[in-house]
Amino acid sequence: MTTRTSTGPAMAALHERHQREDEAAGQHGNALYSVSQLARQLGVTARTIRFYEDKGLVNPSRAGTTRVYTSRDRARLMLILRGKRLGFSLREIKDYLDLYDVDPTQHTQLRQLLAGVRKRIAKLQEQRAALEQSLAELADIERQSENALKQAAK
């Protein structure tokens, strides 16, 4: 049985996916993780996860002095890591994640996500154009250098 918290569609899908994975692995849908378990599963260091906690991106529960992460925390961390891979700043990721609990319709969140994605696409297209120009210039220099060497060898 899957229980939903007040999360957006992307977070809910990740949460459900991880619950299914946990159940398939013989764990309960509301699995709890230590920082070292999550770090190992996500391919990051425990220090990275603690850094995200310090920045307010994830807020684990505590059992005494031990951090205890839920499947929801795991899903949030996966979204954070994906956002970083796609070039979003931690501020942008935090702003996006903070909207999960603010707008139950998720319209604000989706509009912000769409605006951020479009901005990132535009930036990447600019970078691609600059790279293509640099590659063309370098190919021209390479060609000129090869021709000069051929002329000098004659």
pLDDT tens by residue, 57-112:
999 998 888 889 999 999 999 999 999 999 999 999 998 888 877 777 888 888 98
Average pLDDT over residues 41-49: 97
Residue 31: CB atoms within 10 Å: 17
Please count the other Cβ atoms lying within 10 Å of the Cβ belonging to residue 103. Answer: 15
- Domain residues of the chain, as ranges? 9-87, 103-154
Query: Domain 9-87 is in which class?
Result: mainly alpha
Rounded Cα gap, residues 19 and 12, in angstroms: 10
Taking all residues of the chain, what is their mean pLDDT, rounded to a whole number? 85
Q: Are the CB atoms for 67 and 46 separated by under 8 Å?
A: no
- Which has more pLDDT, 24 or 97? 97
Kindly state the average pLDDT of the residues 10-24.
54
Residue 52 near residue 80 (C-beta atoms within 8 A): yes
Q: Is the pTM of this model over 0.85?
A: no
